[in-house]
Amino acid sequence: MSIISIALPIPKRQLFDYLAADEIPKIGCRVRVSFGPRKLIGVVWEINQESDWDKNKLKKIEQIIDAQPIFDATQRKLCSWLAQYYKHPIGDVVQSAMPVALRKGESSEAKPTNYLTLTDSGKTFDLSNLSRAPKQYSLLEKLNKVELTKSQANQDFGISAVKALLDKELIQDVSKPHQINTSWQQQIVVQGKPQANVEQALAISSVEAKLAEFACFLLDGITGSGKTEVYLQAIEPVLKQGKQVLILVPEIGLTPQTVHRFKYRFGIDVGILHSGLTNTERLQVWQKSKNGELGIVIGTRSAIFTPMLNPGLLIVDEEHDASYKQQDGLRYHARDLAVVRAHAENTPLILGTATPALETLNNALTGKYHHLQLQQRAGKASVATKHVFDIRQQPLQFGIAQGMLDRIQQHLEQGSQVMLFINRRGYAPALMCHQCGHVEHCHRCDKPFTLHNQLYKLQCHHCGSAKPIPQQCNQCQSNELNAMGVGTEQLEIGLNKYFPNYSNIRIDSDSARGKSKLDTMLNSINNNEHQILIGTQILSKGHHFPNVTLVLILDIDGALFSADYRAAENLAQLITQLAGRAGRAEKPGEMWLQTHDPGHPLLQDLINNGYGHFAQYALLERKTANLPPYTYQALFKAQALNPKDAHTFLQNVAELFSQYSDVWCLGPIPALMEKRQGQYRMQLLLQAKQRSVLQHALGQQVNQIETLFLANKVRWSLDIDPQDFS
DNA sequence: AGCACGCCGACT
DNA sequence: GTCGGCGTGCTC
């Protein structure tokens, strides 16, 4: 008897067994089953002869939804890998890999298309009778020659004209089953293709040499070096072979201009997937791509799950971008999944960036990835000059030193725009002396203490040791000890008072909620309606500000002394990206970084030698400190109303891992934000020198963790390869 | 997850 | 007396 094992949307690391009703469904098809008191939609994952469950208690499948699998073998392989690697329930994984419409039971087949054709009276109709209705006239004339889809006609001639002709019974609606249309393969043209420079040509031919096999390329190109052109010319032969290309872009980078560039070059339709689409629109792109009807699909993180009939190339643009890592539920990294997918589908993969993630760079340096470098600037791009401004013992007004205020004034008087940047990401508050710049360090770990206001103590995030918050600086006895960081609001009010004649605008994820709002703001900036721009992360991505000639980063110390070891890397990426987005060739910009530690070696290296040099130095530091990419990490997070519960739970988790001598346990320690929404948050970090060692231990213990007595009382999660420690 | 069952406090 | 609070436990 066939046992059907089904992946159901239930947060358990298991499949559920059912019996076939009469017909045995195919693996990869959706089915409807009864599960306890309710009905669920699941995906057939395995068909076996045996079951661990009592065979007499197995229920029958109620309905088979799909005639043909919606998950092919490769996609099932990817889902299984995700469930295995991220230790996540398989049903949940399968769910995230499906468009929402399919989760709800919508048909996976493309809907029949409505065509318009002439009726008998329409065929004999005298067109001159419509001379006073030009839209209807031209529509009827067109239908005389060709068939049109209803939606196309509505778009080109207007709904009212279509409706009028239908009412007059000159034309009629005909529904035809959807026909797979791969005409893009014949439509490809190549237009507006510039001559590649030597570096670009080298990169393009390297990719071209590996088009028929798995290969991973790091396209490491400085801002303005023409990475997109390399993508375009690498895509060309793939499309010409009739194969499809999937491009991932960061959340904010999916602008109409980007899409247009791909559409225009090849003259074909491009499938787009972003958060603004309706469920139906997403489903349509999914269907078209699965049927091979799209040559190019561009999308954000979750687009990595888009099926392709005939995959030829994967591209991850701005591969270092943090938005590729999902921060809740299935905490996967789309870039890492792209590597697995390219391998499974035997296609090449291009990872492009000006500021590679240290993990990626390491893979390139060790020869695991092909390292393609673009170091020449193309066109009229410019890069701002970088400078450090020492603010020790300087009076600060709303976080800005007088010298910097004067400089802002100068630039504004020249009619330029000024950008003030507050770095909030990776921010772990440390206590710093404003007189001498001293930061209290843990003696055992030589790492800065992290300030925990809730517990009123300083805590080391490496060993967990704590001490009360000091009143005086240990080095100069000053009592001017400040938590690092300024708020945007305070800054906004201060600037309004200091520069009453100039308009300022704040751009952060709160003020720019919704895509159109951000576009409006960016337009008003480019129209010079505002002279002072105040922003966070969001400004560093994708947008160019040609009239900005001064960029000031206010609080880089938060990142330099953060307990989050990735903060320095992120800061360097940010600085490099920002420097490439301000000014232009005729009007280059300057960038200033306010700091209490102007001599910081990483900072000096970045400013004097650029990101590539900095990154190699940072890698060296990671190696000596036993940090990723030289070690592998997994982070348990727990939150509960009672801090003791969260702590005890993680303590119990730590005990489970104490038997593995090659797995380090750090913690439990309070999370950087100890208290959020009334809940206390703790974390436990696991680390190992080999990925397999950590994977093995986790694989053995996750199920044990679920049986811990506090497991249901505490909200807990497991993050593999964590990026964010907040 | 979601839904039922169950055991205790405050209401017409 | 019952209505409903959410703790516990189970779903093939």
Closest nt to residue A35, judged CA to C1':
C11
CA-nearest of A198, A115, A190 to A152 is: A115
Contacts of A633 (CB under 8 A, 6+ apart): A685, A686, A687, A694, A720, A721, A722
Q: Which residue is nearest to nucleotide B1 (CA to C1')?
A: A10
Which nucleotide's C1' sits nearest to the alpha carbon of A10? B1
The answer to whether A65 and A55 are in contact (CB under 8 A) is no
Distance A709 CA to C7 C1' (A): 14
Point out the nucleotide closest to A3 (alpha carbon to C1′): C12
The CA distance from A368 to A379, in Å, is 32
Is A3-103 in CATH node 3.40.1440.60? yes
Sign of CA dihedral A297, A302, A307, A310: positive
Phi, psi of A577 (to 5 degrees): -65, -45
The CATH code that applies to domain A385-426+487-620 is 3.40.50.300
| Residue A476 marked in a binding site | yes
CA distance A171 to A178: 21
Residue A665 known to bind ligand: no
Q: How far apart are CA A448 and CA A185, in angstroms?
A: 58
According to DSSP, residue A194 is labeled P
3-state secondary structure A648-670: HHHHHHHHHHCCCCCEEEEEEEE
Q: Answer whether A430's CB lies under 8 Å from A447's CB.
A: no
Q: Considering all CA atoms of chain A, what is the largest pairwise distance in Å, rounded to the nearest integer?
A: 100
Domains of chain A, residue spans: 3-103, 113-176, 184-374, 385-426+487-620, 429-484, 632-720
What pLDDT does residue A657 have?
95
pLDDT along chain A (726 residues), means of 10: 95 96 96 95 96 92 96 96 97 97 94 85 81 82 81 83 85 87 93 93 96 96 90 97 96 83 95 93 96 97 97 97 94 98 98 97 97 85 85 83 90 89 69 83 78 76 79 85 71 85 79 70 83 80 81 86 85 90 79 91 91 94 94 94 86 93 90 72 94 96 86 89 88
A37 touches strand B (CB under 7 A): yes
Residue lying closest to nucleotide B2, CA to C1': A38
**Residues A602/A611, Cβ–Cβ less than 8 Å:** no
Residues A456 and A258: their CA atoms lie apart, in Å, by 49
- In this complex, the answer to whether residue A328 has its CB under 7 A from any atom of chain B, a nucleic strand, is no
Give which of A672, A661, A677 is closest to A635, Cα–Cα: A672
Residues A659, A298: Cα–Cα separation, whole Å = 46
CA dihedral sign, ordered A257, A263, A264, A265: positive
Cis peptide bond upstream of A194, omega within 30: no
The dotted CATH code for A632-720 is 3.30.70.600
**Strand B at less than 7 A from CB of A691:** no
* Side chain identity at residue A411, one-letter code: H
SS3 at position A36:
coil
- Bases in strand B with any atom closer than 7 Å to a protein CB: 1-4
Look at residue A261 in the predicted model and tell me its pLDDT: 94
Angle between helical axes of A150-157 and A159-167 (0-180°, round to 10): 120
CA-to-CA dists, residue A363 to A63, A327, A569, angstroms: 47, 24, 16
Is A29 annotated among the ligand-binding residues?
Answer: no
Fold agreement (A184-374, A385-426+487-620): yes
Question: Beta partners for A708?
Answer: none
Q: Are strands A466-468 and A481-483 parallel, antiparallel or unpaired?
A: unpaired
Name the residue among A598, A606, A603 with its Cα closest to residue A401: A598
Residue A374's Cβ-count burial label (10 Å; 0-12, 13-18, 19+) is: buried
| Cα separations in angstroms, A247 against A53, A57, A184, A350, A677 | 43, 47, 17, 9, 37
Q: How far apart are CA A606 and CA A174, in angstroms?
A: 65
Task: Specify whether the CB–CB gap between A505 and A518 falls below 8 A.
Answer: no
Determine the distance between A37 (CA) and B4 (C1') in angstroms: 9
Outline where A585-690 has alpha helix (H). 601-624, 643-657
Q: How far is CA A693 from CA A317, A342, A688, A697, in A?
A: 31, 25, 7, 6
Alpha-carbon distance of A286 to A270, in angstroms, equals: 12
Which residues of A in 57-116 have their CB below 7 Å from strand C's atoms?
57-59
Pick from A635, A642, A623, A621: nearest CA to A725: A635
Distance, in Å, from the CA atom of A47 to the CA atom of A4, rounded to the nearest integer, reads 5
Pairs from A32-40 (Cβ < 8 Å, separation ≥ 24): A32/A61, A32/A62, A32/A63, A32/A65, A32/A105, A33/A6, A33/A8, A33/A59, A33/A61, A33/A62, A34/A59, A34/A62, A35/A8, A35/A10, A40/A8, A40/A9, A40/A10
CB A11 under 7 Å to nucleic chain B: yes
Q: For A184-374, which CATH class? A: alpha beta
Locus of tokens 């009726």? A119
Question: Strand pairing partners for A373?
Answer: A220
Distance A35 CA to C3 C1' (A): 29
Annotated binding-site residue? A460: yes
CB of A500 within 7 Å of some strand B atom: no
Q: Which candidate, A618, A623, A633, places its Cα nearest to that of A722?
A: A633
**Distance from residue A709 (CA) to nucleotide C4 (C1'), in Å?**
28
Look at the pTM and tell me if it is higher than 0.75.
yes
Task: Find the Å distance, CA of residue A695 to C1' of nucleotide B10.
Answer: 52
* Residue A79 marked ligand-binding: no
CA distances from A88 to A70, A85, A328, A449, A661 (A): 21, 8, 12, 33, 25
DSSP A383-416: --EEEEEE-TT--EETTEEHHHHHHHHHHHHTT-
Secondary structure percentages of chain A, helix, strand, coil, to 5: 35, 25, 40
Can you say how many angstroms the Cα of residue A288 is from the centroid of all Cα atoms in its chain?
23
A463 annotated binding-site participant = yes
